[in-house]
A and B are shown apart, each in its own frame.
Chain A
């Protein structure tokens, strides 16, 4: 089925560990993005990309890195996990214009202890 695939679904990290959250889409969408969702704070944009080789920061980029080597994949790297990064992470993609709306992955629930 066409869509956005995120892995893993759940992850527990210790403070200071690093990890990569994977995101892949098969709809040939130019635009991909990463959000975190925290209670009472809605969705906050971490990083986004408008095409392969192009990435930019969102509103909460600190502690995260991204790259976009292909149209399909947009991994999110946590460099040194902190308890403040405990959250649910969503990857979303769309055509560049965005008027068709975004397609979201099912999310990764991350806990940093």
Chain B
């Protein structure tokens, strides 16, 4: 069935380090892919998205490229800040006729130390 697998956390980095959070998926058809971020005590916010193969989503210095050949959508940032400390969720949307299903990864916690 459809699924999303994220690397397990927590991930701990120093400020200005490079970040990669791996996300791979299995899905029938042509899903849209998303990264959401959840800051402590808040709801989830859409960080970036890609709706077709080879699309690159980007926002706030984060990037992810829709790789159909490797069924991946890894989240990257070149230089993290303390304010990036949060939980990051990978997700995909699949369609079957008129039905839409959103599949979530379990989330990866990121802590950035000054």
Residues of A within 8 A of B (CB): 4, 31, 40-43, 45, 90, 92, 96-107
Contact = CB atoms under 8 A, between A and B. Distances in A.
A45 B99 CA distance: 15
A98 B44 contact: no
A102 B32 contact: no
Given A99-B51, A101-B34, A101-B49, A43 B43 contact: no
7 contacts: A42-B104, A42-B107, A43-B44, A43-B104, A98-B32, A99-B49, A106-B42
A99 B104 contact: no
A4 to B, nearest CB: 8
Nearest to B98: A50
Main secondary structure of the interface of B (DSSP, over half): strand
Interface residues of B, number: 18
Contact of B106 (A31, A41, A101): A41
A30 to B, nearest CB: 11
B104 A104 contact: no
Given A43-B89, A99-B32, A104 B45 contact: yes
Contacts of B42: 106-107
A103 to B, nearest CB: 8
* Nearest 8 A/B pairs, CB to CB: A104-B43, A101-B46, A42-B106, A104-B44, A106-B43, A43-B104, A98-B93, A99-B32
Interface string B23-65: 0000000001010100000111110010100000000000000
